[in-house]
Amino acid sequence: MTTTTNQLLLGDCLQKMNEIADSSVDLIYLDPPFFTERKHKLKNRQRTKEFSFDDIWKQESSYAEFLHQRILKMRDLLKDTGSIFVHCDKMANHIVRGVLDDVFGSEYFQSEIIWQYKRWSNAKKGLLPSHQNIYFYSKTHDFTFNKVFMPYSEATNLDQILQRRTRDKHNKSIYARDEQGSIKQADAKQGVPLSDVWDIPYLNPKARERVGYPTQKPLLLLERIIALVTNQNDLVLDPFCGSGTTCVAASLANRNYIGIDQSEDAIELSQTRLDKPVKTQSTLMQKGRKAFEQANIQALQCLANIAYNPVHRNQGIDAILVEHHHGAPVLVKVQKEAETLQQAKQLLRNAMNVKASKMGFLIRTQLAQDEHSAEAKQDTQDQDTASIIYVIETVELSIRRRYA
């Protein structure tokens, strides 16, 4: 049997998976639906002194049964080098784990991935839920895995890490030295293996990427999973594809895909997204939180000795000073490379209107086309609102100016 790839199938995956050849899939990702009705049944149950596992499972059995049947079939579809990633509802992760241990075997459990994100807070008593669990099992020990390396920790003595080590006669670890007694260097290192805790921004409620599916996942999450355990032209299957994120990510990464869903709407939506994929264009999404911190280094350096709160994700403002001025916040904006001074000023002015700010600082970083225009040099006083924008230059710009 040959499998037609790059298609979306409408129906229960239990049936539809029969259209896929055994041992043909490289990665299965699923976020199975979770039926919350069961939960309430538990409420009034009697606690018994004599413990039986059946008690736990009876409550969950219909769900576990549902999942078990399907995951059994999924295992057959996987190549020997294939992997499965199962996204868990927080009320059911023990059930999912139990089923996976049964079908794949606990020795093929690779990782519990924690997808961590910051989120808008709620008023709930307790801790703010800010993670989800993804279980990663491989079919065999010979699974495809593309190693990813991350930077060393800031607290690491990196120069020492690069020294070769050995053990002395007491089996104590020491640095290796050559005949002259100088330290031997280790081979080139690439960094630290990727951790099982992933800090990936939660899909912002207003993101363009969002298509209205409650459990929609960020593309970045799926892209990372796909990059980790598949290669180009491999086949990715999502048996509960929903809004189609997995398929879109696979398609963007030049992998083949098959998506299955019971809902006609889901299939239609997925197809639309596949025809014209939209990925949220935010610095945070693309480069991660670290890059976000560095993106504005220049701006922050200018402010090095002033007490300020950095502001991200706002075109008009890069920082708000801690000190207020006449009871209103003082805003700071750094001119971006692509902005003319005019544009930058207007953005800051808008922001100041919204924030009712009376004082703003605009930090120039770019030479103007017409260096002699009045606008380029003067601070701006807005007649209506009595607010003022001071224009400041970076040191570097003032040097370049003398050459202009």
Partner DNA sequence: GAACCCGATGAATCCTCGC
Partner DNA sequence: TGCGAGGATTCATCGGGTT
Q: Is 12 in a helix, a strand, or coil?
A: coil
Choose the stretch contacting a copy of itself; rule: CB under 8 A; options: 24-32, 207-215, 271-279, 308-316: 308-316
324 binds, among a copy of itself, DNA, none (CB under 5 to 8 A by kind): a copy of itself
Least distance to a copy of itself from the beta carbon of 362, Å?
A: 16
Q: Please tell me whether residue 366 binds a copy of itself under the rule CB under 8 A.
A: no
Choose the stretch contacting a copy of itself; rule: CB under 8 A; options: 10-18, 25-33, 36-44, 231-239: 36-44
309 binds, among DNA, a copy of itself, none (CB under 5 to 8 A by kind): a copy of itself
Least distance to a copy of itself from the beta carbon of 259, Å?
A: 25
Choose the stretch contacting DNA; rule: CB under 7 A; options: 78-86, 198-206, 330-338, 385-393: 198-206
Q: In the complex with a copy of itself, which residue's Cβ is closer, 156 or 272?
A: 156
Window 148-167: residues binding a copy of itself (CB under 8 A) = 151-159, 162-163
Q: In the complex with DNA, which residue's Cβ is closer, 71 or 284?
A: 284
Under a CB-based contact definition with an 8 Å cutoff, are residues 341 and 368 in contact?
yes
User: Half-sphere exposure of 297 toward its Cβ, with a 13 Å CA cutoff?
Assistant: 5
Q: Please tell me whether residue 47 binds a copy of itself under the rule CB under 8 A.
A: yes
Number of Cβ within a 10 Å radius of residue 23: 12
* Main-chain dihedrals φ then ψ at residue 320, nearest 5 degrees: -125, 125
CA neighbor of 26 nearest in space, from 126, 146, 129, 161: 146
Q: Please tell me whether residue 336 binds a copy of itself under the rule CB under 8 A.
A: no
Give residue 62's Cα distance to chain centre. Answer: 33
Choose the stretch contacting DNA; rule: CB under 7 A; options: 74-82, 266-274, 314-322, 331-339: 314-322
Q: Please tell me whether residue 182 binds a copy of itself under the rule CB under 8 A.
A: yes
CA neighbor of 316 nearest in space, from 348, 342, 345: 348
Least distance to a copy of itself from the beta carbon of 349, Å?
A: 14
269 binds, among DNA, a copy of itself, none (CB under 5 to 8 A by kind): none
Taking the CA atoms of the chain, what radius of gyration do you get in angstroms?
Answer: 28
Rounded CA-CA distance 161/159 in Å is: 5
Window 248-307: residues binding a copy of itself (CB under 8 A) = 283-284, 289, 292-294, 297-298, 300-301
404 binds, among DNA, a copy of itself, none (CB under 5 to 8 A by kind): none
Q: Please tell me whether residue 117 binds DNA under the rule CB under 7 A.
A: yes
Running DSSP on this structure, what letter comes out for residue 157? Answer: -
Choose the stretch contacting DNA; rule: CB under 7 A; options: 1-9, 113-121, 337-345, 362-370: 113-121
Least distance to DNA from the beta carbon of 98, Å?
A: 21
Rounded CA-CA distance 318/302 in Å is: 11
Number of Cβ within a 10 Å radius of residue 213: 17
Under a CB-based contact definition with an 8 Å cutoff, are residues 2 and 21 in contact?
yes
CA neighbor of 8 nearest in space, from 253, 379, 272: 272
Window 200-259: residues binding DNA (CB under 7 A) = 201-202, 204-210, 212, 214
Rounded CA-CA distance 87/115 in Å is: 10
Q: Which helix (H) or strand (E) holds 99?
A: helix 93-104
Q: Taking each helix axis from N to C terminus, what angle separates 245-252 and 264-275, rounded to the nearest 10 degrees? A: 20
173 binds, among DNA, a copy of itself, none (CB under 5 to 8 A by kind): DNA
327 binds, among a copy of itself, DNA, none (CB under 5 to 8 A by kind): a copy of itself
Q: Please tell me whether residue 284 binds DNA under the rule CB under 7 A.
A: yes
Look up residue 98 and give its two tokens.
């139990």
Which DSSP string corresponds to 312-362? -S-TT-SEEESS-BTTBPEEEEE--TT--HHHHHHHHHHHHHHHT-SEEEE
Q: Please tell me whether residue 169 binds DNA under the rule CB under 7 A.
A: no
Number of Cβ within a 10 Å radius of residue 219: 23
Give the footprint of DNA on this chain (CB under 7 A): 117-125, 129, 152-157, 159-161, 165-167, 171-175, 183, 186-187, 189, 191-193, 201-202, 204-210, 212, 214, 280-285, 313-316, 347, 354
